[in-house]
A and B are shown apart, each in its own frame.
Chain A
């Protein structure tokens, strides 16, 4: 196996491609660094000059307003210049290859590429071909990884639960297609959460799930019992009917998070969701807006986490 492409030969983070393969100390360092960025909004000038003069290119091959926006906000809080590339209307749709697109941007002196792509592994291909001073941050590749989301989920859990060593975490929904689930599961197992469960019908749980270190449950009754953290995954529209699931209604009945099912978990359980939510499908409004929900804080934490990641990859040394 070749060396982990995310780390340079000193073990420092030069790209963020996946939570998997990051050592425990590095994960904790990212969370601690994010903690220190959380105070930036307390001041008059909500910026620090760390990335002044650096260019951050948002290279989104898959549409996403919210993730792109939070990366943009995070980059601007670091005083970086941000360029947004809506690839759907750019040269790639004219047949330009992924690597040619990146090479062209590199010629315009990019420092950080934030990449979201529909194919698993695309950011690795890019990272193999960028110049030494250029850094790649994966904003989601196919169903493989969404490391900043995984990290902000870990940050959120740590914020409310203090430490991972006694936690029971349940991840519910379309795990098969979820890069968010994979990144979070890798982070939880690295940080030592003793019980990580995935809950969903067999059609939505991947074949190799047990090898990820999780316990597979096919009922909410079994999976939510005494859970400390519940992470609801978004169910994509195209999966709601057809060969994977019969309908959104039946999914909600069996796997949607209702107040009743929430009662199976610990009384102080927190409810998370990467967003955007399908109210009434994977989560009922009274739960999404209720006292257990930390969905909005997740978004705030996401900015600090992304500031931390950008600062750590872009530093010299």
Chain B
């Protein structure tokens, strides 16, 4: 990869791609933390009826026994009834698929949605579960041992960064 894609530009193109798909039963949920930032951009751009929901998957992760509880779990907040909605689940980077698995499990504890479409800013290689995104801003390959992270500046500007995996 020569240069990293511009995250703000990706948000804009995603919003355009999603616009025709928004209907009366649509609702959007962002996964903390990066997915929530992307969802804020998209939700504002699309002018959706239902307010934006947020999920923190800390209590649904599959690595609790190995790593314990995450340090600073935020509160999940879904200010609408999930039942019967066509949900747009938004995350920043789709990598192993485990975050999305946890998010879907958590969503179903809120109620039974009509459908869930996965919207991600970046879909990269490295899937460990049978999960795919219905809408991705860009599809990339990332070098071994590296991670793709979404950052937000003090002024609120989103950008993608590549860093060594822990």
Do A and B share a direct contact in the complex (Cβ within 8 angstroms)?
yes
A residues near B, CB below 8 A?
Answer: 12, 29, 32-33, 35-36, 38-40, 42-45, 47-50, 311-312, 315-317
Shortest CB–CB separation between residue A71 and chain B, in angstroms? 18
CB-CB under 8 A from B77, the residues of chain A are 39, 42
Closest chain B residue, CB of each to CB of A43: B110
The answer to whether B67 touches A36, judged by C-beta atoms less than 8 angstroms apart, is no
B residues near A, CB below 8 A?
Answer: 56, 58-60, 64-69, 71-78, 82, 105-106, 108-111
The answer to whether A317 touches B68, judged by C-beta atoms less than 8 angstroms apart, is yes
Please judge, given known A-B contacts A36-B73, A316-B68, A317-B67, whether A49 and B59 are in contact too, CB under 8 Å: yes
Question: 6 pairs across A/B with beta carbons < 8 Å?
Answer: A36-B75, A36-B76, A48-B106, A50-B69, A312-B68, A312-B69
CB-CB under 8 A from B75, the residues of chain A are 35-36, 38-39
The answer to whether B69 touches A47, judged by C-beta atoms less than 8 angstroms apart, is no
Closest chain B residue, CB of each to CB of A33: B73
The answer to whether A315 touches B110, judged by C-beta atoms less than 8 angstroms apart, is no
5 nearest A-B residue pairs (beta carbon): A315-B68, A48-B59, A45-B109, A317-B68, A36-B73
CB-CB under 8 A from B111, the residues of chain A are 43-44
Shortest CB–CB separation between residue B56 and chain A, in angstroms? 7
CB-CB under 8 A from A40, the residues of chain B are 59
Closest chain A residue, CB of each to CB of B62: A49
The answer to whether A48 touches B60, judged by C-beta atoms less than 8 angstroms apart, is yes
The answer to whether A43 touches B109, judged by C-beta atoms less than 8 angstroms apart, is yes
The contact of B110 among A32, A45, A50, A316, by CB within 8 Å, is A45
Please, how many angstroms separate the alpha-carbon atoms of A12 and B68 in the complex? 10
Please, how many angstroms separate the alpha-carbon atoms of A60 and B68 in the complex? 27
The answer to whether B110 touches A36, judged by C-beta atoms less than 8 angstroms apart, is no
Please, how many angstroms separate the alpha-carbon atoms of A12 and B78 in the complex? 31
The answer to whether A50 touches B59, judged by C-beta atoms less than 8 angstroms apart, is yes
CB-CB under 8 A from B73, the residues of chain A are 32-33, 36
The answer to whether B67 touches A316, judged by C-beta atoms less than 8 angstroms apart, is yes
